[in-house]
């Protein structure tokens, strides 16, 4: 199948081609946690780049629960005009533009000064880096209902702002993913125990979001194919959750994997030498897609057109690309023009995996920040230098966030 063939979604909408710009956290909001000129410039670059679908980085449903400082939060209509400008920038090239809605749960940085909420009081285990995250407080019934309501409210606001869809983030160890995993969900009420109970939050959020938006507005879910942790959410669990999602009006399912504790979404095992390792969730996603009634997208390490074609030939509907589009925002346009480009970042082989994971994210954000200032990317940047700059930037944005929140 051609990567440039249109995709018809279950709700009647059409995506112009089979390539999506996957979500990457930008940390480029202003001090009000809303889109600023930097985010507009960044997404203008991607809008010109030729992908059929653009997904935002994390947009939080609660400004008290951020994955990091400088993130975007969409809670009410106070700054809706800024979101309209962002939607307009992302749709300028004709692509669909969806908001990724999220809540961090226990993956909340301690220095933000906020109380982390989670299904259970299970703290992150990152060795000496564990103290970087706030101690989680188990959510009560009211907390859970408020989260469901907030997802629905943010989705309705996204539609009002002019976005064409939302993606509910239920992967990578964030709140909904925490409810799905028996390692982090040790509840004994209706929200824990059996997989059916652990999936209740996800299914409730999907139902609430769908009811809050119009039929032509796209609703998608990002789900882990597995957590890659012993005793955690695995492929068999994912298969069952997909079967339950089949009963919901979902327009696209994105499959990924991992969490902060096991950052498989960064391709730790990837060696860059083989096709299979470049699309490192492809085999598992292909098996899971066989039970899905909705179109399925896979994301993770894709940077070559041949891999996109392999993804589509395996029966998947779309290929999501993140890091490669951070390096070369016009990559899809170049492919369409017949150019054989395959941008990548040098691998980081530091022994301390949590630090290497932070450095990997910092190198990507370094590219995003350059694009947001209208500059060319620098994929050869030193990982250590990028990490230092990122820590300084995050420190500054953390102080601004705490001041704005009265902390």
pLDDT in tens, 332-377: 999 999 999 999 899 898 988 878 888 999 999 999 999 999 999 9
Structure tokens at 143: 């907390």
* pLDDT beyond 90 at 380: yes
The residue assigned the tokens 């028996």 is: 182
235-251 pLDDT tens trace: 899 999 999 999 999 99
The dihedral sign for the CA sequence 348, 353, 359, 364: positive
Query: From start to end of 90-217, where are the E strands?
Result: 96-102, 116-118, 136-138, 165-170
Q: What residue has token string 């017949």?
A: 338
Separation between Cα atoms, residue 276 and residue 281, nearest integer Å = 9
Positive or negative, the Cα torsion across 290, 292, 297, 299? negative
DSSP 134: P
Helices and strands, counts by H and E, the chain: 14, 13
How far are the Cα atoms of 75, 112, 143, 258, 394 from residue 224, in angstroms, in the given order?
26, 27, 24, 7, 27
Quickly tell me which residue has 């250590």 as its tokens: 384
What is the mean pLDDT of the segment spanning 26-37? 96
Give me the mean pLDDT over the 249-254 stretch: 97
**Helices marked H in 222-300 — which ranges?**
235-245, 275-278, 282-289
| Residue 374 burial (CB count, 10 A) | 11
* Mean pLDDT value across residues 210-221: 98
Give the pLDDT of residue 227: 73
More confident residue, 366 or 229: 366
Question: What whole-number percentage of the chain has pLDDT above 90?
Answer: 82
Mean residue pLDDT across the chain: 92
Task: Quickly state the pLDDT bin for 276 (edges 50, 70, 90).
Answer: very low
d(CA 139, CA 92): 41
Q: What distance in Å separates the CA atoms of residue 339 and residue 399, rounded to the nearest whole number?
A: 44
pLDDT-derived band at 280, boundaries 50, 70, 90? low
Once rounded to an integer, what is the mean pLDDT over residues 367-393?
97
What percentage of the chain has pLDDT greater than the value 70? 95
Q: What average pLDDT does this structure show over 194-222?
A: 98
Cβ burial of 291 (10 Å; 0-12, 13-18, 19+) is middle
pLDDT at residue 262, rounded to an integer = 64
Confidence of residue 258 (pLDDT cuts 50, 70, 90): confident
d(CA 118, CA 255): 23
Which domains can be identified in the chain, with CATH numbers?
7-348 (3.20.20.70)
Is the pLDDT reported for residue 214 higher than 50? yes
pTM (2 decimals)?
A: 0.94
Helix (H, G, I), strand (E, B) or coil at 239: helix
Strands 14-15 and 7-8: antiparallel
* Overall residue count recorded for the chain in this entry: 407
In this prediction, residues 5-23 reach a mean pLDDT of 98
User: What number of CA atoms fall less than 13 Å from residue 162's CA on the CB side?
Assistant: 15
Q: How many other CB atoms are found less than 10 A from the CB of residue 264?
A: 22
Q: For residue 364, which of 98, 53, 107, 21 has the smallest C-alpha distance? A: 21
* pLDDT single digits (tens) 57-84: 999 999 999 999 999 999 999 999 999 9
Per-residue confidence (pLDDT) for residue 301, from 0 to 100: 83
Alpha helices in 373-407, H assignment, sequence order: 383-404
What is the pLDDT averaged over residues 47-61?
Answer: 98
* Sequence-ordered strand ranges (E) for 136-243: 136-138, 165-170, 218-224
Q: Give the pLDDT confidence score for residue 265 in this predicted structure.
A: 52
Helix (H, G, I), strand (E, B) or coil at 401: helix
Residue 275 has pLDDT above 50, yes or no: no
Contact residues for 399 (Cβ-Cβ < 8 A; gap 6+): none
Q: Is the dihedral angle over the CA atoms 266, 268, 271, 276 positive or is it negative?
A: negative
- The pLDDT score that the predictor gives to residue 266 is 47
Closest Cα to residue 52, out of 310, 318, 295, 286? Answer: 318
Q: List, as one string, the DSSP characters of 297-351.
A: EEESS--SHHHHHHHHHTT-SEEEE-HHHHH-TTHHHHHHTT------PPP---S
* CA 107 – CA 109 distance, rounded (Å): 7
Task: Report pLDDT for 229.
Answer: 80
């Amino acid at each position: 199948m051609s990567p440039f063939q249109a995709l018809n979604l279950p709700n009647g909408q059409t995506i112009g081609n089979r390539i999506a710009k996957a979500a990457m956290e930008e940390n480029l909001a202003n001090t009000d946690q809303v889109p600023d000129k930097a985010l507009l410039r960044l997404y203008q670059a991607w809008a010109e780049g030729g992908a059929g679908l653009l997904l935002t980085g994390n947009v939080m449903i609660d400004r008290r629960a951020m994955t990091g400082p400088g993130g975007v939060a969409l809670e009410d209509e106070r700054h809706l005009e800024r979101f309209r400008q962002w939607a307009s920038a992302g749709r300028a090239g004709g692509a669909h533009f969806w908001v990724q809605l999220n809540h961090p749960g226990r993956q909340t940085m301690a220095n933000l000064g906020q109380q982390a909420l989670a299904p259970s009081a299970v703290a992150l285990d990152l060795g000496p880096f564990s103290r970087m995250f706030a101690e989680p407080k188990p959510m009560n019934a009211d907390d859970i209902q408020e989260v469901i309501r907030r997802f629905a409210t943010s989705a309705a606001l996204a539609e009002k702002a002019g976005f064409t869809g939302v993606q509910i983030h239920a992967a990578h160890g964030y709140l909904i993913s925490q409810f799905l995993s028996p390692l982090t969900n040790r509840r004994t009420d209706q929200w824990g125990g059996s997989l059916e109970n652990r999936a209740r939050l996800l299914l409730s959020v999907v139902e609430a979001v769908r009811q809050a938006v119009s039929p032509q507005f796209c609703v998608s879910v990002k789900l882990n194919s597995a957590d890659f942790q012993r005793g955690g959410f695995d492929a068999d669990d994912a298969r069952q959750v997909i079967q339950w999602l089949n009963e919901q009006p979902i327009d696209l399912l994105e499959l990924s994997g991992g969490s902060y504790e096991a950052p498989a979404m960064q391709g730790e095992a990837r060696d860059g030498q083989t096709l299979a390792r470049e699309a490192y969730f492809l085999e598992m996603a292909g098996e899971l897609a066989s039970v899905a009634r909705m179109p399925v997208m896979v994301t993770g390490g894709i940077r070559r057109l041949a891999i996109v074609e392999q993804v589509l030939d395996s029966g998947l509907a779309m290929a999501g690309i993140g890091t490669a589009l951070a390096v070369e925002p016009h990559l899809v346009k170049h492919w369409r023009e017949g150019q054989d480009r395959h941008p990548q970042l040098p691998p980081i082989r530091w022994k301390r995996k949590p630090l290497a994971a932070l450095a990997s994210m910092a190198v990507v954000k370094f590219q995003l920040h350059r694009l947001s200032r209208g500059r060319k990317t620098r994929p050869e940047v030193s990982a250590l230098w990028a990490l230092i700059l990122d820590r300084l930037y995050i420190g500054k944005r953390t102080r601004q966030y705490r001041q704005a929140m009265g902390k």
